[in-house]
Amino acid sequence: MGSVIGGQLICRNTLHTVRETANHATSVFASSSGISVSKIILVTGYGGFLGSAICRKLIQQGYAVRGVARGDYPELKSLGVECFKGSIADRDCCQAVCAGVSGIVHTAALAGVWGKREWFEEINVTATDHLLREATAQSINAFVYTSSPSVTFDGSPQINVDESAPYPTNWLCDYPRTKAIAEQRVLQTDSSRIATCALRPHLIWGVGDPHLIPRVIARCRQGRLMRVGDGKNLIDTVHVDAAADAHLLALQKMLDRDSNASGRPYFITDGQPMECWEWIADILSFANLKPPKKSISLANAYKIGAVLEWVFRLIGRQSEPPMTRFVAKQLGVAHYFNIESARERLGYRPPANRQELVELMRGTL
């Protein structure tokens, strides 16, 4: 028998094999690699844009890395990542891949502004619960959770906000709602037995980005991109390598049981807010495109988003509407963050060569 997790069939026999292989690999690391078992780090969603960057940096730092995801990533396997295919929404899979590790970096999530409520709850909340349960049961020392700044976003402008910003009582979509639930559970698990923290990287970008930048470019080419408001609202972004560095810093603090750093969330950005439309113009320039001149007021974009959401739900359409309330607000209001806590408690430093990193993007799309 098997169980359907997010549309994927996970066979019990496969999970049994994963568990046996994970246990065997733990002993192999200990006996033949020269790396202590205590150095094995599990990265969930290891094949993703951020997850793969974290894996590479962990390997560079001498960690043994185990990854779990739904896809196959031979390039990472060739680098030495111990790769497992499965869904962390399945508790048995979590139990298997957690065997013998001392730290977990949990990047896997269902992102997006549209979809069934239960999909987001299964991947973002239930899967995190499974990992936390296994981390506690198997005496894993450290747990770093990849959260999102949207866990504090209710549609109002966020101007240099820090981690004292509360969770909203009203949500514009299920992604930030479920990420906030999971984040709180991660932070509540922090104890003398396991150190936990949550990082909130914002709008991750860089060479190889398969999501954010290609999506903006595609919408422009399809004639579906327009400015919301005056485009001068300030927003934050973070380069993928900086976001990965922040995760390694946090992991080490958790492994060291640094009580000054654990049990907390952290905003992670490049530390250089910029105007939203200027940022979009930069993205489009990577593909030799110019920003369209079409514009719409924030109020009208929000109203259109609300109507489209209602219509799509009424007809049961699963594809994302061309505008939603969340997207309208994200494009039309300021949202940038204070990263002093990450600087002081984690030792995080945003990239000093941001413009050079931007130039590396040109001609890659």
Residue-level pLDDT at 158:
95
Residue-level pLDDT at 219:
87
Report domain extents, the chain.
Answer: 2-205+237-273+335-353
The dotted CATH code for 2-205+237-273+335-353 is 3.40.50.720
Please report, rounded to a whole number, the percentage of residues in the chain having pLDDT higher than 70.
Answer: 89
Which of 301, 164, 323, 304 minimizes the C-alpha distance to 230?
Answer: 301
The pTM for the full model equals 0.89
Mean pLDDT value of segment 286-290: 86
pLDDT above 90 for 63: yes
Residue-level pLDDT at 364:
66
Mean pLDDT value of segment 306-317: 92
Lowest mean pLDDT among 34-43, 173-182, 224-233, 264-273: 34-43
Beta strand ranges found along the chain (DSSP E)? 2-5, 8-11, 40-44, 64-69, 82-85, 103-106, 142-146, 158-161, 195-201, 204-205, 227-228, 234-235, 238-239, 265-268, 274-275, 295-296, 335-337
- What positions carry a catalytic annotation? 175
DSSP state of 167: P
Please report, rounded to a whole number, the percentage of residues in the chain having pLDDT higher than 90.
Answer: 73
Question: Long-range contacts for 73-77 (Cβ within 8 Å, ≥24 apart)?
Answer: 73/46, 73/47, 76/46, 76/47, 76/52
State the number of CA atoms in the 13 A half-sphere of 107 facing the CB: 28
Residue-level pLDDT at 115:
85
Which of 40, 15, 30 minimizes the C-alpha distance to 96?
Answer: 15
Task: Report the chain's mean pLDDT, rounded to a whole number.
Answer: 88
pLDDT above 60 for 224: yes
CA distance 13 to 18: 9
